[in-house]
Amino acid sequence: MSTRRFDLIAFDWDGTLFDSTGLIARCIQEACRDLGVAVPSDADAAYVIGLGLTDALQHAAPGLPVERYPEMGRRYRHHYFARQHELLLFDGTLEMLQSLKARQHLLAVATGKSRRGLDDALAGSPLAGMFDSTRTADETASKPHPKMLLELMDHFGVPPERTLMIGDTTHDLQLAANAGAASIGVSYGAHDAETFDEFSPLFVAHSTRELHDWLLRHG
């Protein structure tokens, strides 16, 4: 009988596996400049990371008419895809995932990215082929709605108590809570770890090494 606590471990992408918070925030700001709307602060731009496009723009660009959301999305993608080659995995991420894979955990991604965005990112990264399944906001629902995590649990037949969600934002932790699953927060991404307490994560990791160690001991 397995001694694992969790059979399914779902990871957020940006700010959790990849050091992408700064680039995403800058691309949001550049897209706002392109369209002539108020440019959000660094904090406001970073806050929306992990949300689907509509939810993100309602917060980051509240003065933008809804009919211009597709245009904003195109400008954001223009800036992001031009620079995504600059993104790097957090140190130790690949080794951590390989270790979890060797322990027979099911590994998944639950992200606010679009399907095209995630597929492009996976294809050009060392993580291609690492995950057993993935879900994106545009094919499910924006975080913190639990649909993407519920779909992953249903796909693998894993109950909430055997599922762990790991992410760098309150959106990730609230998603887990809404799905009845446990969560871990990481402090090196988009949101301040002091905001995590409301959602009672099992642990807050301050580095990938800390996260890896915790998962080996308790996952």
Range of the domain at 184: 8-20+89-218
Domain-embedded: residue 34:
yes
State the Cα–Cα distance between residues 30 and 32, nearest whole angstrom. 5
CA gyration radius, the chain: 17
* Residue 2: per-residue pLDDT: 53
State the Cα–Cα distance between residues 191 and 44, nearest whole angstrom. 10
Q: How does DSSP assign 81-110, residue by residue?
A: HHHGGG--BPTTHHHHHHHHHHTT-EEEEE
Whether 72 and 58 have beta carbons less than 8 Å apart is answered as no
Regarding whether 153 and 51 lie in a shared domain, the answer is no
* Residue 1: per-residue pLDDT: 36
How many Cα atoms sit within 13 Å of 45 on the Cβ side? Answer: 20
Regarding whether 31 and 13 lie in a shared domain, the answer is no
Regarding whether 195 and 104 lie in a shared domain, the answer is yes
Regarding whether 68 and 143 lie in a shared domain, the answer is no
Give me the sign of the Cα torsion angle 114, 9, 122, 134: negative
Regarding whether 76 and 47 lie in a shared domain, the answer is yes
CA angle 52, 55, 61 (to 5 degrees): 115
Work out how many domains the chain is built from and give that number: 2
Active-site residue set: 12, 14
- pLDDT (tens digit, 9 = 90+) per residue, 34-70? 999 999 998 888 888 777 777 788 888 888 888 998 8
Give me the sign of the Cα torsion angle 129, 135, 137, 139: positive
Regions in the chain scoring below 50 on pLDDT: 1
Domain-embedded: residue 1:
no
Give 180's contacts (C-beta < 8 A, 6+ positions apart).
Answer: 146, 160, 161
pTM: 0.82
Regarding whether 184 and 93 lie in a shared domain, the answer is yes
